[in-house]
């Protein structure tokens, strides 16, 4: 009887290990087939970090949302 209990306890462990191996394989395949020759690198300039190079093209990204309109003659931080 103890043998059946031990075997039943191994089934979730084996299933979890198989799922982890499958997900790791999919991640490696996705990264290797991305088709990017230069992965890019992070460079620190003037106190901020910038990604230089890589597969991302700025034309593929959506434009940044516009801020609220500023009225002439009022400072940027002015609140009424």
pLDDT digits (tens, 9 = 90+) for 40-61: 889 999 999 998 887 777 788 8
Which alpha helices (DSSP H) does the chain contain, by range?
2-32
**pLDDT class of 4 with cuts at 50, 70, 90:** low
**pLDDT class of 26 with cuts at 50, 70, 90:** very high
What is the reported pLDDT for 23? 98
- 32-71 burial: b if 16+ Cβ within 10 Å, else e: eeeeeeeeeeeeeeeeeeeeeeeeeeeeeeeeeeeeeeee
**Residue 56: closest CA among 27, 35, 28:** 35
Does the global pTM surpass 0.95? no
**pLDDT class of 7 with cuts at 50, 70, 90:** confident
User: For tokens 């992070």, what's the residue?
Assistant: 42
Mean pLDDT of the chain: 82
Q: For the chain, give the percent of residues with pLDDT over 70.
A: 82
């Amino acid at each position: 009887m103890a043998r059946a209990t031990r075997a039943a306890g191994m089934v979730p462990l084996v299933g979890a290990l198989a799922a982890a191996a499958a997900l790791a394989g999919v991640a490696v395949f996705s990264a290797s087939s991305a088709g990017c020759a230069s992965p890019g690198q992070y460079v620190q300039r003037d106190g901020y970090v910038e990604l230089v190079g890589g597969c991302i093209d700025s034309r593929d990204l959506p434009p940044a949302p516009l801020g609220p309109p500023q009225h002439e003659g009022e400072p940027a931080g002015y609140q009424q």
